[in-house]
Structure 1
C-alpha cells in the first residue's frame, strides 16, 4: 500500500493543479476520461513518474495503454463526507517505454459513491455525479518536472460498460463504439477531505477454476468453485458478434438450482455481448464484486470446460499472519471458514456480508470479531483506518454517537422502509457502539502501537459520553433500542432480536468493559483526569449491575449462557459469586446438550468463560458439538465460510426461511480467537507481544495441535500432542522476545528466544 511515509507532499498539495472533471451525456455507460500530452523531454529521460488520483466513484487508470496499478475499486470506501483517500502509483516504466506523447485514460464507475446502496431498495447515494481528480507528475533526469492534471482539456468517450453497480453486477456490450471525443465538465471535489491512502489497497489474490460443471434439473449450466469466495469470474472466449453470455452468482444451491433468495434485491449478474473478434475477448468485471461459490452461465459459445473460466479472489491487501491445524478435521475446517470469511468481508471496510443488498460496515460484527481478525491477518492499517472513519462518521451532525454501520450510507436512503425506526437510532447501542472501543483494544493487544491508540481515544470518548446520556437514573444501561444478543439460536428466524439474554444486562456489562479500557487508554496516553473519570464510570456502573442483576447465589438476571459468559469474561463478579456463576454457566451449557445457545453478544466469550474458570472439558465439548446449532454443524453441511445464522441452511438442505440469511458472515466465527489463544496457546502477555504467553490448554477430542503467528515481535510457533505419558510440546520464540511458558498444571517457566520443548 501507499502511505504518507513515502510521500513528501500532502494529498491536497499533490493535486493542487488538478480540477475535478466529470463526463456528461453518458446514457448510463461508464465513461473513459482521457488526455494525450507531449512530453517536454524524451521518454528515456524520465527519472520518475507518479500518478496521483482519487474519485467520486471508482476508477481504473491506464498510462500508455497499460494499467497504472494492479489494485482495483480505487479509492475504496471511506466516510466520503470527511475522508476521501488519494492513491499514488509509480508509473515510471509506463511513461519511459512510450513515445513522445503520453496518454492517460481513466474508466470511471459508480462504486460505493452512487451505486444505489442499502437494503430494501434504499438507493442510498452520496451524490449523483461521478468525477475524477488526478495528476501525472513527471520528473526528468535533469531535475525538471512536468505535470499532467485533470482539467477542461480532457475529453470523454464511452466504454463498453453499459451498467455496473456493486449489488447488481456489470454489463458490457462489446459491439458499441466509443463515440467521438466530447468535452468534459469541470466540477468540485472538496479538497479538505483528501487524505493519503490509509487502508490497504484492494487487489486480486488468487484464482480458482471450477471443480465441477454440470446441468441442473432446469437445464441451467452450473459451476462449483469448491469455496465460497468474493470476487468475480474472468474468461477469454471466441464467439460470434452479438453472442450474449450471462453469469449469475450464489453462495449455495437449493433444490439443485442456484440459491438466489438470500441475495434479496441484489441481482449479482454479469452480462457481456461479444463483438466477434477472431482473437478472442477477455471479460473481467472489475467495477463490481460478488460473494459466491456457485455460478450459472448461459449463452456460452461452444462447450464450456473448467480451463475456460476462473474465479478471481478479491479483497483488501491484508497479509496472512495466523495458522492453525489439529487432529480434528472439523475444527480445521472451522478455522479455514473463519479465514475465508475474513478475506471476503475485509474489502474496503469490514463488512457484514459480501453478497446481498447490504455489504455494510456493521459495527457489531467487527466488535465481536476483531481479536480473531488480528490473529489471522495483519489488520493494523485496515482497522486503524476504519476506526478513524467511525469517529469521523459519529462526529458528523446530527450524530453524536456511533451508528450501526460505518460508513453510514443508510442515512442517505431515498426509498424503502427503514427497518429501524428513527427514534431507535437516536441513542447509542451496546456492542455495535462499543466497536469503537473494542476494536481499538484488539489492535492495542495485537500491535502495541501507542500513537495509534492515542488517535483512537477520541472515538472512545464520544461513545462513552453518548452512553452516559442514555443511562437510566439507576445507573444501568437499560434504555433505548438494543440489538443485544442478536441471532440467539432460540429466536424465531423472523425475529433475530428476540434473545433470552436481558438487554439491560448485556448493555450494562458492555459499558463496564468499555469504560475500563477507556480508563486504561487514558492512563497510557497521559490523560489522568480522564482515566479517573472513566474508571469512576466503570465502578459506578459495576455497583449498579451487581445490585440489579446478580444474586447472592451467583445467578445473573435471565439465567442464560450469554449473561454468565459476559459477567465472567468482563470480570464483573465478586470473588464469592464468580465460582457460583461459573458453575451455573457450565450447567446451562450441559443442559443445552452442548448446543450453542448464544448470539452476537455471548458467542465470542462463552468458551473463554468456561475454560478460564476450570470448565475446560465443557468448553471443548461445546466447540466440538456437531448438532444444530453449533460451530461444527455448518461444517457438517459442507460450509466453507462462517454462516450468519447457526442454521442458515436447514438439515434438509433448504435455506433458512428468514429474510436475513447469509452464508459468509464472520461474527459467529469469533470462537477462533479462543482456538488460537487457548487450544493452541499463543497469547500476548503484553501489548504487541512485547512479552509472549505460551499456554496450550488441551482437552478431550483434540489429540494434537500446531500453529504459528507472525506477531509484531516476530514469528511464534507452537505445537503439542497428548500421549500416554502426558503432554509433549514445542514452542519457538522470536529473536529479541521473551515468553512465559504456562503448562496445564499451572507451572510457569520464563524462556527466551529459540525453540523450547515441554
Structure 2
C-alpha cells in the first residue's frame, strides 16, 4: 500500500499554488480488496520545521488545508501517509513541493504600459528594460499579465512554453497573472527583460453580419514585476511603470489578430532585443495605459500550450491549380514552416476545415481571414510559426512557396489548454470509436483558454449553452475542474445585478439583458457537474450566489403562472428539421424548453442549498421546483400521457429532468418517445437541448433497443453520418456537409462544435457502464448496458481516487463484465438479470447471460406494416437496396420521407411504383426469409 499523486488543487504542472490555503488530494494504491481509508496524516515541512495534522475518515479529495495560511512566496513540501480501516498504515508519500504563487495585499506595483502613439489599432509591439543583478541572487520571480496576449523573454530565452497568456477573462473586472520562477535565466551583472505583445482577444472586433466592433480597448498593454531576492535578505523590484521601459511597434510581427491571423516580416527581425546591450535608441519610452487599473489574480486554469504535432498526410492540387496540404485531422493551432528563398519572398498560409468542389472551403469562416503570412529574410533556412493566433483547420493552402515544395517542411502544431486526459472509451464498432475520438478532438480544439463554440470562424465565443450540455462529457475526458471553475468566475462577474446570465462568457455581445433557457442555466448546471464529477464543494459554494440569482431571475420572469413563456429563446437549437436560415425553429415549442429548464435550475439550486447546509433556501427552491413542475404538467401534457409538442425533445425533458413523476405517465411517455424515434427511421430528431437527454430517456424507460438503433444509425441525420462523411471532429449541424459533399447553405456552419458530442457521456455511463453515484466518484455505478451490434465496450477513468474501469465482452452465449474499483471507494453494481449489489475496491469479474437481442421480423412480405419492417434492420436495408437497384431516387425518397408507422404497409408506401421495383422488393424479402 502506498500513497501517490499527491497534489494541490487545480493542477497546472507547476509548483506554484494560487491559493493561500490550497486543498490537497491524494490517491492510495492498495492490494487489499475493499480497502478504505480510516485516517490520514499530512506533514507540512518548511526548512527544518515540520507540522503534522491528522484527518479522520475517508476524505482524500480536495481536503482543506489544515495548517496556517501560506504567505506570499512561502515554500515548502507536503507529504501524506494513510491508515486503513483494516489497520494498515502506508509509508510517507513522496514530497510534493509547494510555492505560494500569489501576491499579498498591496504587493502589486506594476503599471500597465503600451505602445507609443501614433500606432495602428491592435498594433503588435515589443517592450524591453535593462537592469543589473547584484551578487548573491537567491530567487527571481516574475509576475506578469497583459491586456492582450504576451510572452516574456529574458536574455533571449522565453520564460516558459505557454501560449496566448494570460488568456481571455472578463477583462474589465478580472485579469490573470502568471507566476514564473526565472532565477536560472538571470546572470550576475547586466540583464534584460523583453515582452512581445499583441492584441489577442483584447483588441479583437466582435460581432456578426459585418457589424463587428472593438469591445475592450484599442491598444494592447503589458504589466509585470520581477522580484529579485538576495541572500542578504534584501529585495529589488523591476516593474513596468518605472523608468527604463522602452517600446517599439517596428518589430517583425507586423499584424496579429485572433480571427485574421498573423503577418511576420523576417527582414525586420531585431536580434538580441531581449538581451543586455541591445541598441534601443530608435525605440521610444513606453506609454502608460490609461484604462481602468486592475490588480490581477493568479491563474487557476491550466495554460494554453502546444501539445502535439502532425505531419502533412497528403498534398492536394486543387482544380484551380492551388497547393493544399491535408493533415488528416481537423485540429486547432497553427502551422510551422521551414523554408528557403530570396529576401522579400512571401509565403501565404490560408486555413479551412473542409474542401468544397476540391477547393479550400472558406465560406464557413465568414469574416475570419484565418491567414498567416511570412516574409523571408533570405538568409538560409528559416523556421517560423505564429505566436498570438490560432486557427481551426484540417487543410491549409500554401501560396508563394519559393522553389520546390516539400510537405515535410510544414507541420501542424496543435494548441489548446493543457488539460490532463483522464477518460477513455472503446468498443467493437469502428465508427463509434471514431465518433468518440471526434468528441475528444472537438473538446481539445474548443478548450482554448475558455470553452468556445467553435475555433475557426469569426466567433470562437464562450457560449453558455454549449458547455451546459457538454460539461459532463468534458469532465470525463479531461481534468476540467480548474478550467471550468475559472470560467464560472467570469460567468458570475458578467451576470446582471438582477441575475440574468449572458449568452456568452465573456460577454462581448452585451447579451446579459436577455435571458435564454439552457444557455443561462449553465450558471446552475456547470457548478453541479463539477461537484458531481470532482467533489468540488468549494466551487459549488462560491458559485451558489450566482445559481440562486439566476434561478430567482427566471422565476421572476415566469411570474405567478410559473411558466417561462413568450420570451426570446434559442429553444432546441439546431433541431435537424429547422431550416438552415432559422436554427431556432424546432419541433419543440421553446416555452416547453424554457419552463423545463426553470424546473431544472430550481432543483439544482435546492440540491446545492441542501449540500451547503442552507436549509431555508433548500425548502424555498424545492417548493419553487414543485410549483414549476405542476405548471409544466398542467400546461404541456395531456391525460393520455402526451406532450403538446409531440417531439422527442419534449418527452426527453419530461423524463430526464423528472418533471413527470407518475409511473404510468412516464411509461406512456417513454413508449411515445420510442415510437417517434422509430417513425423517423431511427434518425435523430433533437437539437442542442434534447440530444444529451434522449438516449438516457430511452434506456431508462425500457427502450434500449431503440437507443441502440438511434446510436448506430449512419443515415443523415445521425451521430455517425458525419463519421461516414470523413469527419474527424463533431459538427455544429447534423448536416454541416450534405451528402453530395457540399457545405450546408446556412450562414452558420462549423465542422468543429462539441455540443452534439454530449453523447460521449452516455457512452461512458451506459454503453460501457461507468458513472458517479457520489461526488467525485467516491461511490460509483457499474451498470453496463450491452447492446446488440457491439461485441464489447469499455470505459476507463482516472477518478480523483484512482483508476476505475468497466468493460464487457460477449462470447459463447454470455457476457463477461470486468470492473476495477479504486481504493477508498465503493461501487453499486447493476447487471442485466441480477439485483443490484455493492462491491468494494479491487478487480472484479462477473458472468451473465447475454441480454442482447436484435429484433428480426418473421415472414415479412411486401404487405407487412412499415413499423414491422423498420424493426428488422436487415429487412429494412434489403428493401432499400432493392429499390435503389431499380430506382435510386425513389430509394432516397423512401429513406428520407417515410414515416415508419403501424398505419401503413410497405406496398402502400411504394405505390405507385414500377412493377420491377415491387418484384425486386418481393424477391429480397423472400431471400431473407430463406436465410
| Whole-angstrom distance in 2 between the partners of 1:192 and 1:235 | 38
- Aligned-residue offset at 1:484: 1.0
Do structure 1's residue 506 and structure 2's residue 597 form an aligned pair?
Answer: no
| Whole-angstrom distance in 2 between the partners of 1:14 and 1:51 | 16
Contact 1:428 1:470 survives alignment (8 Å): no
- Which secondary structure state, in structure 2, belongs to the residue aligned with residue 641 of structure 1? coil
Q: What is residue 362 of structure 1 aligned with on the other side?
A: 463
Q: Relative to 1, partners in 2 of residues 1:12 and 1:108: Cα closer, same or farther, differing over 3 Å?
A: farther
Q: What is residue 447 of structure 2 aligned with on the other side?
A: 346
Of the three residues 523, 532, 541, the one matched with 2:628 is 541
Shifted more, 13-22 versus 153-162: the winner is 13-22
Q: What is residue 606 of structure 1 aligned with on the other side?
A: 694
Of the three residues 528, 536, 542, the one matched with 1:455 is 542
Q: Relative to 1, partners in 2 of residues 1:227 and 1:251: Cα closer, same or farther, differing over 3 Å?
A: same
Q: What is residue 226 of structure 2 aligned with on the other side?
A: 136
Q: Relative to 1, partners in 2 of residues 1:8 and 1:479: Cα closer, same or farther, differing over 3 Å?
A: farther
Q: What is residue 429 of structure 2 aligned with on the other side?
A: 328
Q: Deviations over 1:68-107 (max 9, x none)?
A: 1110100100111111011111112111xx4511110001
Q: Deviations over 1:641-674 (max 9, x none)?
A: 0000000000000000000000000001111110
- Aligned-residue offset at 1:48: 1.8
Which TM-score applies when normalising by structure 2? 0.78
Q: What is residue 231 of structure 1 aligned with on the other side?
A: 333
Do structure 1's residue 51 and structure 2's residue 142 form an aligned pair?
Answer: yes
- Aligned-residue offset at 1:400: 3.6
Show structure 1 runs of 5+ residues with no match: 412-421
Do structure 1's residue 389 and structure 2's residue 490 form an aligned pair?
Answer: yes
Q: What is residue 668 of structure 2 aligned with on the other side?
A: 580
Do structure 1's residue 107 and structure 2's residue 196 form an aligned pair?
Answer: yes
Q: Deviations over 1:562-592 (max 9, x none)?
A: 0001100011112221100000000001001
Show structure 2 runs of 5+ residues with no match: 1-11, 21-69, 73-101, 271-279, 847-931
| Whole-angstrom distance in 2 between the partners of 1:545 and 1:251 | 42
Of the three residues 748, 773, 781, the one matched with 1:660 is 748
| Whole-angstrom distance in 1 between the partners of 2:526 and 2:225 | 36
Do structure 1's residue 316 and structure 2's residue 408 form an aligned pair?
Answer: no
Q: What is residue 271 of structure 1 aligned with on the other side?
A: 373
- Which secondary structure state, in structure 2, belongs to the residue aligned with residue 577 of structure 1? helix
Do structure 1's residue 703 and structure 2's residue 791 form an aligned pair?
Answer: yes
- Aligned-residue offset at 1:67: 0.4
- Aligned-residue offset at 1:189: 5.7
Q: Deviations over 1:204-240 (max 9, x none)?
A: 1010011011311111110001110000001222221
Q: What is residue 594 of structure 1 aligned with on the other side?
A: 682
After TM superposition, the structure 1 = structure 2 runs for residues 55-66 of structure 1, keeping only pairs within 5 Å, are 55-66=146-157
Q: Relative to 1, partners in 2 of residues 1:20 and 1:405: Cα closer, same or farther, differing over 3 Å?
A: same
- Aligned-residue offset at 1:26: 6.3
Q: Relative to 1, partners in 2 of residues 1:193 and 1:459: Cα closer, same or farther, differing over 3 Å?
A: farther
Do structure 1's residue 38 and structure 2's residue 38 form an aligned pair?
Answer: no
Decide which structure has the larger Cα Rg and report it.
2
Kindly report the root-mean-square deviation, in angstroms, between the aligned alpha carbons of the 2 structures.
1.6
Q: Deviations over 1:385-413 (max 9, x none)?
A: 11111110014x6x7400111000113xx
- Which secondary structure state, in structure 2, belongs to the residue aligned with residue 368 of structure 1? helix
- Aligned-residue offset at 1:192: 4.5
Q: What is residue 243 of structure 1 aligned with on the other side?
A: 345
After TM superposition, the structure 1 = structure 2 runs for residues 348-427 of structure 1, keeping only pairs within 5 Å, are 348-395=449-496, 400-411=499-510, 426-427=513-514
Of the three residues 286, 293, 299, the one matched with 2:387 is 286
- Aligned-residue offset at 1:753: 1.6
After TM superposition, the structure 1 = structure 2 runs for residues 732-743 of structure 1, keeping only pairs within 5 Å, are 732-743=820-831
Do structure 1's residue 73 and structure 2's residue 164 form an aligned pair?
Answer: yes
Contact 1:107 1:159 survives alignment (8 Å): no
After TM superposition, the structure 1 = structure 2 runs for residues 70-219 of structure 1, keeping only pairs within 5 Å, are 70-95=161-186, 98=187, 100-121=189-210, 122-151=212-241, 152-157=243-248, 158-176=250-268, 180-188=282-290, 190-219=292-321
Q: What is residue 728 of structure 1 aligned with on the other side?
A: 816
- Aligned-residue offset at 1:35: 0.4
Do structure 1's residue 259 and structure 2's residue 361 form an aligned pair?
Answer: yes
| Whole-angstrom distance in 1 between the partners of 2:300 and 2:293 | 16
Q: Deviations over 1:251-273 (max 9, x none)?
A: 00000010000000000000011
Pick 1 or 2: higher relative contact order, CA cutoff 8 A, min separation 6: 1
Q: What is residue 418 of structure 1 aligned with on the other side?
A: none
| Whole-angstrom distance in 2 between the partners of 1:582 and 1:331 | 25
Contact 1:55 1:130 survives alignment (8 Å): yes
Contact 1:488 1:597 survives alignment (8 Å): yes
- Aligned-residue offset at 1:12: 7.0
